[in-house]
Amino acid sequence: MIKYNLTCKCGETFESWFLSSSEFDSLCKKKLIKCIYCESSKVKKSVMAPNLPGKSNRISKKSKLEKNIKKQLLDFRKYIEKNCKNVGENFSREARSIHYEKKNSQGIYGKTTPEEASELIEEGIDVVTVPWVDKSEN
Ligand SMILES: [Zn+2]
């Protein structure tokens, strides 16, 4: 037996027991699952939410933390964009030329594949991979 929280288009939620999730699916297809409040068959399985006390608190803390991390990454990105030269796809070539020709250059940033990045690191070139957060997102 499996218990689902069901949500009706009328906005009510209720619980119902089913033999299995496939039983639920077939009953749902045949429109045999009816809202206990309004008899509508437009009911949907809602996401199972364990009733743990304080869960919502924890969620908001987590998203706050994620926001903070994102903000820091964004600040970091801004810092890099302000202080380093964007070499785009030429990153590994530029990084090598700075390293081997001892060019006294400002920092650079650009795109590279994980393989290229690990090659550069093996050659003793100082590269860091940073998650490039999208500025448009919030
Ligand atoms: Zn209903």
> Rounded to whole angstroms, what are the CA distances from 106 to 27, 40, 85, 95, 99?
66, 67, 7, 11, 12
Secondary structure class of 116 (helix, strand, coil): helix
- Domain edges within the chain: 2-45, 80-138
Task: Give 27-59 pLDDT, tens digit per residue.
Answer: 989 999 999 999 999 999 886 555 555 555 556
Ion ligand 1: residues, Cβ under 5 Å: 8, 10, 12, 35, 37-38, 40
Measured in Å, residue 16 CA sits from the centre of ligand 1 at 13
User: What's the whole-number average pLDDT of the chain?
Assistant: 83
Measured in Å, residue 5 CA sits from the centre of ligand 1 at 13
What is the rounded CA–CA span in Å between residue 26 and residue 23? 5
Task: Give 97-111 pLDDT, tens digit per residue.
Answer: 888 887 666 788 898
What is the rounded CA–CA span in Å between residue 16 and residue 46? 11
83: Cβ–Cβ under 8 A, 6 or more apart, which residues? 106, 107
* pTM: predicted TM-score of the whole model, two decimal places: 0.47
